[in-house]
Amino acid sequence: MTPTDSELISLAVSSDDVGAFGELVRRHQSAVRRFLRHLARGNDSLADDLAQETFLQAHRGLSRFRGDAPFLTWILGIAHNHYRNACRRRRDEVPLEADEARMVYAPSLERRTDLRQDLSAAMDRLTPDEQLAVRLAFENGLSHSEIAALLQWPLGTVKTHLARGKDKLRELMSAWNPQI
Amino acid sequence: MNPPDDAWLDALLARGLKQEPLPDDGFTLGVLDSLTFRPATHSWIVLALAWAMAGTGIALGLSRSGAWEQIAGGWLPVVHLAAGILGDPWMSLVALAILASVALAWVPARSAFKYG
């Protein structure tokens, strides 16, 4: 039987079992790296370096994991902190205007077959905070309160960003609405 | 609560944003390798040097007092050689450096043994 995250964490903490921690890394590396790649906006090597630091810090602090939220939520929170610290160190956060200026593709008004391409273009029209909230909710399946805890935002802010993001997406992706 | 016509958007987002897992590509191995490597810190260097100096001092002291001869028994020629090396100031420095290196190497090596 496949051990749960909680069982692996117990093994890693009580027996210093590196194999158990390795399994946790294998399970969650994709979500953590994707999350950081999104934040780093295409700088994959920076994202992967931050992901490695994230897991190393998680290992050091594993005994402090209380299990109030899923392990993935906890580790994405660490990843987010690492990204913010890296931005502070490098002072290279891309302002929203620049992000919008590099847009070269807009979602088509006619129904298309490439959902991912249309959605990716539509997502680029959202502010970074809206993108983050939408991705965490729909890509990672986190609840509003988990997103709030992870990003250290008030719950109302999460709901606002999600609602605004979805408002924009509803319009930008209207060609995909089967009711129209 | 979502308005009724949001169901299509929720389904679309869930489908469109869900992605294939990224291949590991040695990422996990890299993390585990980093776990087993602990660079020597300043405190370890100071401790190792202090240990090496103390060890050399004791070895020299025992050589001069003749205690080695009683302890060594049949290994006396080897002990004499070691004492001669340690009695030489330059060789003492070399011995001290070797002892310090062994002590410093022990820190990451201990992790490697521990984590296999």
pLDDT in tens, A62-108: 988 888 888 999 999 999 999 988 888 876 555 433 344 344 445 55
What is the residue extent of each domain of chain A? 5-90, 105-176
Q: What is the CATH T-level fold of the domain A5-90, as seen in this structure?
A: Rna Polymerase Sigma Factor; Chain: A (1.10.1740)
- Contacts B8 to A, Cβ<8 Å: 176-179
What does the angle CA A84 – CA A104 – CA A109 come to, to the nearest 5 degrees? 110
| Chain B nearest-CA residue for A35 | B22
Pick the CATH number of A105-176 from 1.10.10.10, 1.10.10.60, 2.30.110.10, 1.10.150.120: 1.10.10.10
Q: Which two tokens stand for residue B30?
A: 């890299």
Q: Do B34 and A52 touch (CB under 8 A)?
A: yes
Q: Is the pLDDT confidence value at A168 over 90? A: yes
- Contacts A173 to B, Cβ<8 Å: 9, 12
CA distance A160 to B116: 49
Range B47-56 contact pairs with CB under 8 angstroms and sequence separation of 24 or more = B47/B103, B48/B99, B48/B100, B48/B103, B48/B104, B49/B96, B49/B100, B51/B99, B51/B103, B52/B96, B52/B97, B52/B99, B52/B100, B52/B103, B53/B96, B55/B99, B56/B86, B56/B92, B56/B95, B56/B96, B56/B99
- Contacts B18 to A, Cβ<8 Å: 138-139
Q: Which residue has the higher pLDDT, A57 or B101?
A: A57
**Res B3: pLDDT:** 55
Q: Tokens 């060609």 — which residue?
A: A175
Q: Is the pLDDT confidence value at B112 over 90? A: no
Range B23-31 contact pairs with CB under 8 angstroms and sequence separation of 24 or more = B24/A26, B24/A29, B27/A25, B27/A29, B27/A33, B27/A48, B27/A51, B27/A52, B28/A22, B28/A25, B28/A26, B28/A29, B30/A52, B31/A22, B31/A25, B31/A29, B31/A52, B31/A55, B31/A56
CA distance B27 to B40: 24
Confirm whether A5-90 and A105-176 share one CATH topology: no
**Res A98: pLDDT:** 39
Is 0.85 exceeded by the ipTM? no
CA distance A68 to B97: 51
AA identity, residue A88: R
CA of B91 vs chain A CAs: smallest distance (Å): 42
CA of A67 vs chain B CAs: smallest distance (Å): 22
CA distance A67 to B76: 63
pLDDT in tens, A9-48: 998 888 888 889 999 999 999 999 999 998 988 789 999 9
Q: Do A26 and B28 touch (CB under 8 A)?
A: yes
A→B contacts (Cβ < 8 Å), by residue, are: 16, 18, 21-22, 25-26, 29-30, 33-34, 48, 51-52, 55-56, 59, 115-116, 118-119, 134-135, 138-139, 166, 169-170, 173, 176-179
Q: Which residue has the higher pLDDT, B68 or A35?
A: A35
Report chain A's mean pLDDT, rounded to a whole number: 85
The 10 Å Cβ neighbour count of residue A177 is: 13
Q: Do B35 and A18 touch (CB under 8 A)?
A: yes
Q: Which two tokens stand for residue A141?
A: 């399946």
CA distance A71 to A87: 24
